[in-house]
Structure 1
Amino acid sequence: MTVTALAAADWIQGVEGMQQKAEEIAEDPAQKLWGPLLDHVLLPFGQIVLIIFLTYIALRYSDRVIDRLLNISRFPQKKGTTLNRLIKSTARYAIYFISAIAVLEKLEIPVTSILAGAGIVGLAVGFGAQNLVKDVISGFFIIFDNQMEVGDYVEINGSINGTVEEIGLRVTKIREFSQRLHYLSNGEISQVTNYNRDRMRPLVAVTVPYEEDHDRVRETLKEITEDLNQRLAPYVIEPFTIFGVTDIQQDGVEYTLMAVVTPEEYWMVEREMRITIVQTFNEKGIEIAYPRQVLTTYPELQTSFAKAKTAHNASEKAQRPLPRKEKGNPQGGEEG
């Protein structure tokens, strides 16, 4: 009975409170109704919309500002492209973070407590996310050590070859010539071979048969180097030369031509060297060595065997010692 009485009293008190609130709103609707609605609903909503609009503007125009700053700084093209993408990515994350904090404040959510809790959680996650931290640190070293830049042709860990498309704080993108795109965690990159650093040395080998006149071969190769030096002069750092005989193979003698050229034209120069060697050798009637087999028919084989047997018998006969002459009558009789 007591519980029922208390519940009834609370209900009566609640009804009286609602009646009193309604009377206050009826007496001064501008202050009691529209004031709280404006202060706690409409104004925060308008501020959140403004924050979202400013975030959109910041994301849209931050890229242009970064482009202009890098153009003013006059970085080299590849380095500027690399830094451009990295700074844009970092700025985008920073804008999102600041906007999220501002929206939470307008919703009257305790941001300080969230950040403090996030710090503790981040510390705990950090021990379990060591690879992520390693990727970020490795990304910084790759960028600031200038190991590679966007547009460079590189070989990663001795197994992946391609052009650098993007270097991020965590992931590097490498596109192969076949257009396959590799996503590599920066922490996994242990070896970088860069084909776009200052200079490259093209080496092209050509093998000629042993039967060729090698003095004539060297003269022809010398003509080829002189022709290449004239036609490819804008890309040549050290002139084309004959490196010499670099190998003696089963099918012939190997000669190597070399030079030092600008890295951007390395592949083109090697292709031009090969086609020039082939065309010039064809014009001069010089053969390029290739695997060959000699087929002999049965009659020819019999004739070869007969000649070989005859030569062998003649050789044995020539090496056989002469018979010794005995004293006395040449007819074999005794002297009288």
Structure 2
Amino acid sequence: MEGKLIYIKNFYTEKTVELLQRILIFLKFNSDKILTLLFSLIIIAVLYLISKRIINRVIKLSLNIKNTAFSHDRIITLSSVFNSILKIIFSFIFLILLLKVFNINIIHVLTGAGVIGATIVYIFQGLIQDIIKGWILIFEDQMRKGEWVNINNTFIGKVIEFNLRHVVLRDFERNLIFIPNNQINTVFNLTRELKRNFIKVKFKKPENLENFLENLESFLASLENDKIQKLKIYNINIGENFVELEIVFRCKFILRDEIFNKLKLEIYKNFKDALLEIA
């Protein structure tokens, strides 16, 4: 057994030495080509960084940037997508230079790629559909990084990543949801507009109902601010011993639970003697 282990150890040692020798020989006879590639890589990296800055600048100017959160989110989304495209372009340029430096016939490679191309397109048609749908979503400005969205009326979350392949959401439980672009049919943007919400409240039937409702409406109006708007009584159901109301208000989706709790607390504090139920 010990002899077998020594044999295996010697075998791998010989293979390692042989590999190192081949690498050294390759470096010795191709040092000029490697230096050319390194120099080309530096130039490509510099051009990439310059192009990246130019594109980001053009995006800002084309959007007529103002100091708003929406403009900032739009710039982040578009910059991320165009930077990904730049990486692909410059990687392809480096690959062409690599083939040229080592005297590999580019035409033959491209011809072979053309023959295989149809097969690749067929195999990766889902990816191609992702890219096409990604462009549509981006230029229609349906969502941006940082916004809360409802996709396909199934997935609700904050947009963490948005590129030409997929959208990544983080839901309320902080789970990450990856959705391929070609599977996105409907997008409900929950951030850009104030959403309408309802609270059901049940009171003891007052002696003077009209006066009670006026006081309630004045109280609701006093609660309006930038976060909560259009507070008013929506529906009234009058029973024998009770009055059931629906209070409607508008707020941002992400603030909904906070506003719900605050409203319930304020209603309880100011109308607790008459309050029967709140939901």
TM-score, scaled relative to structure 1: 0.63
- Whether the 8 Å CA contact 2:169–2:178 is kept in 1: the answer is yes
C-alpha distance in 1, partners of 2:210/2:247? 11
Task: Name the stretch that deviates more: 81-90 or 119-128.
Answer: 119-128
| Aligned pairs (5 A) from 1:166-185 | 166-185=161-180
> Which residue of structure 1 lines up, in the alignment, with residue 205 of structure 2?
213
Q: Note if 1:287 corresponds to 2:275.
A: yes
Identify which of 133, 152, 163 aligns with 1:138.
133
> Which residue of structure 1 lines up, in the alignment, with residue 263 of structure 2?
273
Q: Note if 1:149 corresponds to 2:139.
A: no
Give the Å deviation of 1:49: 0.8
Q: Note if 1:243 corresponds to 2:234.
A: yes
C-alpha change, 1:233 and 1:218, in structure 2 (3 Å) is farther
> Which residue of structure 1 lines up, in the alignment, with residue 123 of structure 2?
128
C-alpha distance in 1, partners of 2:86/2:155? 30
C-alpha distance in 1, partners of 2:86/2:193? 32
> Which residue of structure 1 lines up, in the alignment, with residue 226 of structure 2?
234
- Whether the 8 Å CA contact 2:158–2:171 is kept in 1: the answer is yes
Q: Which has the higher strand share?
A: 2
C-alpha change, 1:59 and 1:176, in structure 2 (3 Å) is farther
DSSP 3-state at the match of 1:201: strand
DSSP 3-state at the match of 2:277: coil
> Which residue of structure 1 lines up, in the alignment, with residue 60 of structure 2?
71
Could you report, residue by residue, the CA deviation over 1:234-267 in whole angstroms, capped at 9, with x for unpaired residues? 3466x3210022698xx97541111344667555
Give the Å deviation of 1:225: 4.3
Task: Determine which structure has greater relative contact order: mean sequence separation of CA pairs < 8 Å that are 6+ residues apart, divided by chain length.
Answer: 2
DSSP 3-state at the match of 1:136: helix
Identify which of 25, 33, 41 aligns with 1:52.
41
Paired residue type of 1:164? V
Give the Å deviation of 1:174: 0.7
Give the Å deviation of 1:168: 1.0
Give the Å deviation of 1:151: 1.5
Q: Note if 1:257 corresponds to 2:247.
A: yes
C-alpha change, 1:275 and 1:61, in structure 2 (3 Å) is farther
DSSP 3-state at the match of 1:56: helix
Task: Name the stretch that deviates more: 95-104 or 212-221.
Answer: 212-221
Size of the aligned set, in residue pairs, is 243
Give the fraction of aligned pairs with identical amino acids, expressed as a percent: 22
> Which residue of structure 1 lines up, in the alignment, with residue 91 of structure 2?
96
C-alpha distance in 2, partners of 1:129/1:253? 62
C-alpha distance in 2, partners of 1:277/1:60? 57
TM-score, scaled relative to structure 2: 0.74
- Whether the 8 Å CA contact 1:226–1:240 is kept in 2: the answer is no
- Whether the 8 Å CA contact 1:229–1:236 is kept in 2: the answer is no
Paired residue type of 1:289? E
Give the Å deviation of 1:202: 2.7
Paired residue type of 1:244? N
User: Which structure 1 segments of 5+ residues have no match?
Assistant: 1-39, 291-336
C-alpha distance in 2, partners of 1:114/1:246? 77
Identify which of 105, 108, 114 aligns with 1:119.
114
> Which residue of structure 2 lines up, in the alignment, with residue 18 of structure 1?
none
Could you report, residue by residue, the CA deviation over 1:85-140 in whole angstroms, capped at 9, with x for unpaired residues? 11111111111111111121111111222122212212122123222222111111
Give the Å deviation of 1:65: 3.7
Give the Å deviation of 1:219: 5.0
> Which residue of structure 2 lines up, in the alignment, with residue 200 of structure 1?
195
C-alpha change, 1:235 and 1:112, in structure 2 (3 Å) is same
- Whether the 8 Å CA contact 2:268–2:275 is kept in 1: the answer is no
Task: Name the stretch that deviates more: 190-199 or 87-96.
Answer: 190-199
- Whether the 8 Å CA contact 1:136–1:186 is kept in 2: the answer is yes
C-alpha distance in 2, partners of 1:252/1:126? 68
DSSP 3-state at the match of 2:157: strand
Identify which of 75, 82, 96 aligns with 1:80.
75
Give the Å deviation of 1:80: 1.7
DSSP 3-state at the match of 1:241: strand
C-alpha change, 1:226 and 1:150, in structure 2 (3 Å) is farther
CA RMSD, Structure 1 to Structure 2 (Å)? 3.0
- Whether the 8 Å CA contact 1:245–1:255 is kept in 2: the answer is yes
- Whether the 8 Å CA contact 2:228–2:259 is kept in 1: the answer is no
Give the Å deviation of 1:157: 2.0
> Which residue of structure 1 lines up, in the alignment, with residue 14 of structure 2?
none
